[in-house]
Amino acid sequence: MDAKVILCDFAEVAGGKMFISGAGLALLASGTPVAPYRVNVALAIMGLIGLNDTDAQHKMTLELVYAAPDGGETRVPLADEVPEGGDPADKGMFIAYFMAPRSPEMLPTDEWAMPMAIPMYGLGLPALGSYYFSVRIDGREMDRSSFRLVMPQPPEVVDGMGVPGSGGEGIGGRQVTEGPSL
């Protein structure tokens, strides 16, 4: 069994297929100037299940970790509670249990894809800096997706010859544009 995770702007599963937009984010900027820094992201997770992993219950955990500049790591809570009968060490993680049924058409060398989309809109992050999402299945880390949270770029003022009445002339012939998107 294996799983891959991609940080993106949007992910959706429809008809057993994964649809992703804005994939491969490495830098995120928050629209809020103080903690918690709110971001809008989604995780696209593709589980790959072999014949020996079918017809058995599996536990997938998703953990968000802040990697401090001093080398320390802190779990950022994604959930408030642990499922009934769950391990207290899982507090703060997103947990999903799943079972992949064995298909009669499955050959010993086949891997079935199990796509999952997890939107995290309005996710609050405690500090600027480095983070990673870790995906584990049955306690074994399968993949990580790392990113860095930065302050948004302030709008920049550039000299320009705005066309009167176009709304682009700004003040005193200067145009105001947004900074580069991250």
Domains of the chain (ranges, CATH numbers): 2-151 (2.60.40.10), 156-182 (no CATH)
- Please state, in angstroms and rounded to a whole number, the distance separating the CA atoms of residues 101 and 105: 11
Q: Answer whether 58's CB lies under 8 Å from 97's CB.
A: yes
- Please state, in angstroms and rounded to a whole number, the distance separating the CA atoms of residues 149 and 162: 34
pLDDT tens string 147-167: 999 988 777 777 655 545 545
The pLDDT profile of the chain, 182 residues, written as one tens digit per residue, is 999 999 999 999 999 999 999 999 999 999 888 999 999 999 999 999 999 999 999 999 999 999 999 999 999 999 888 878 888 889 999 999 999 889 899 999 999 999 999 999 999 999 999 999 999 999 999 999 999 999 887 777 776 555 455 454 444 444 444 444 45
Of residues 48, 39, 42, the one with CA closest to residue 94: 42
What is the reported pTM? 0.81
Residue 81: per-residue pLDDT: 83
pLDDT tens string 61-82: 999 999 999 999 999 999 888 8
Of residues 14, 130, 118, the one with CA closest to residue 61: 118
